[in-house]
Amino acid sequence: MSFLAGSVAGAVVSGGVYYGFSSLMQSRTTQLRTDLHLLSERLVTASTIVPPPPASTRVVHRPFLTLVQSRWNQQVASVFATVAKWEQHASEWGRKLLYGERS
């Protein structure tokens, strides 16, 4: 009797799960179909292509950002120049040390 009751209980549970997933898939499919239809209708009935605004109206001038960027670039350039100068001095010092050049 318990084998029969377990089998029936398993069949009822699996049938419930199947019905739940089936119902969920059907309702989601119906909703997606409706949404897709609405979107396609909007696309078909949309007005003609509106050209984008001219580039001059889309450019946003940010003087503070430009100032910060130029100062940053100046600082980075000065760091690179300083490192290049140090490298040149180190190279000259090494050459003098290795080859005995005196100035």
| pTM of the model as a whole | 0.38
Cα dist from 98 to 40, 91, 102, whole Å: 80, 10, 11
Given a cut of 70, whether residue 17 has pLDDT beyond it is yes
**pLDDT for position 5:** 81
Q: What percent of the chain has pLDDT over 90?
A: 44
**pLDDT for position 46:** 79
Given a cut of 60, whether residue 69 has pLDDT beyond it is yes
Cα dist from 59 to 2, 10, 12, 17, 70, whole Å: 78, 67, 66, 57, 19
Given a cut of 80, whether residue 3 has pLDDT beyond it is no
